[in-house]
Amino acid sequence: MNSRQSTVDSRQLASVRFHLFLGLFLAALVASCATVPITEQEVFPLDPREGLAGPFPSAVAKGWQDLLAGNAGRAEAEFEAAAREEPRLAADIGRVEAMVLSGRAADARPICEKLLPGSEPTAPLLVACAESQARLGDPVSAYPLYREALVRAPGRPRLVARAEEVRSSARDRLVEAAREAAEAQDWNEARAEISRALELAPESPAVRRSAGDLVNAAGDKERALRLYREAIDLGANDPETAEKAGDLALELGDYPVAVSIFDALAAQDSRFAPHAENARLTFRVANWPAPEREAAQSARLTRAGAATLLWWMYPEIREMRVSSGVIASDALSRRDSRAITRAVALGLLDVDRETHRVNPGARLAPASAARLLLRLLVLVSPPNQELTCLGESRRPPRAASEALAVAEGCGLLPELDTGGVSGPVFTKALDRVRALAAGSDAGEE
């Protein structure tokens, strides 16, 4: 081997030795900067190095070990030391985690405000800042951060569970804010807050119900009904929500919906049977001609209104034989004279014997209503039909107090004040008469 070849080989050997030494040096340097592997935690705190490219200062690894050991104060000191070197993002994330864990979430907030917009946020940064907001009592700001963190760190059930806790808290906070705004009559703010709650928890029956209460108080009854019905469809099974929906449906004239809601309630709880009966009656009455409908819906039924309902609901009385020749002079020129004079002729309405006046515009007194209903029961019942509540004589009593007692015993009239009888009460009583005459305890559908 000549001297020239020997010189070349020596140089090559020296180069190999240099690169080997350099590799060992760099490996040692990396090992000194990251002495523990990056772990994927299931819940806060997450390893601050996760999602970042190293190398990391050795103090970051030490700070993370301190966090895992529960020593947040010492961890914060390590992260502060590491933050003097570049890159410093992992150290800053660790500082936020240490501050939150040591109960100083307020001190962590300014760091989050600087880091979140200034870099591509990693899952540990998002979760740390979310926990900072949540522990400061602001779950509404915390949840979007958790939601973004789950996109970057999928497949961690405990992290998902914690995010759901924060979401529930945010939902409740928005609903409460909406209620407070509504109490202050700030309807724009109330609507904005409840809309955010609906967007945050569209699957929640409770939020739909609260939204229904709010918009109903604001006067938007149609939207309130929609929200109540959506709450029911989503699984709200409390009678209160269904009752609100049924009452609104009646008020808005959506009678099929009202009947459906109250029938379902009555099937579960007998207390709602009167509501279901009223809904069905209201639905039926809504399709009647105007005079009959107005009479059936009146708060204080007149004597003429009672005759009109009789004429409409009992067409058979139009052909019944009469024996009385009493004339009601003040009914002859009225448009409803046929209904009134027929009620007078059958003895269903009394006439003043001296003045020959039936007073059609006067309110129907409870005693007069009781006598009318009991007399009607006798007229439309088959002769062999047993009417236990009337007794063997089948004769309606004339005395006011006795007539009222018997009518109540027959289930025709509830206890009433002396002011008069309402159209709905009288209409239901006429249905009850039909049922008794047919030998049934159920009202007419």
CA-closest candidate to residue 307, choices 357, 259, 369: 369
Give span(s): CATH 1.25.40.10, the chain: 58-154
Task: Write the pLDDT tens digit of every residue in 47-104.
Answer: 999 999 888 999 999 999 999 999 999 999 999 999 998 889 999 999 999 999 999 9
Going by C-beta distance under 8 Å and a sequence separation of 6 or more, which residues neighbour residue 409? Answer: 389
What tokens does 352 get?
């003043």
| Helices within 346-443 (DSSP H only) | 366-380, 400-409, 423-437
CB-based burial of residue 101 (10 Å sphere; 0-12 exposed, 13-18 middle, 19+ buried)? buried
CA 423 to chain centre: 33
| Helices within 184-317 (DSSP H only) | 187-200, 205-217, 221-233, 239-251, 255-268, 273-285, 290-297, 303-313
What pTM value is reported for the model?
Answer: 0.72
With tokens 């009947």, the residue in question is 259
In this structure, CATH architecture of domain 58-154: Alpha Horseshoe (1.25)
Task: Write the pLDDT tens digit of every residue in 16-63.
Answer: 444 444 444 344 444 444 445 676 788 899 999 999 988 899 999 999
Residue pLDDT tens, the chain, 445 long: 444 444 445 555 445 444 444 444 344 444 444 445 676 788 899 999 999 988 899 999 999 999 999 999 999 999 999 999 888 999 999 999 999 999 999 999 999 999 999 777 999 999 999 999 999 999 999 999 999 999 999 999 999 999 999 999 999 999 999 999 999 999 999 999 999 999 999 999 999 999 999 999 999 999 999 999 999 999 888 999 999 999 999 999 999 999 999 999 999 999 999 999 999 999 999 999 999 999 999 999 999 999 999 999 999 999 888 766 677 888 888 999 999 999 999 999 998 888 889 999 999 999 999 999 999 999 998 888 778 888 766 777 878 888 898 898 888 988 666 668 999 999 999 999 998 888 765 433 3
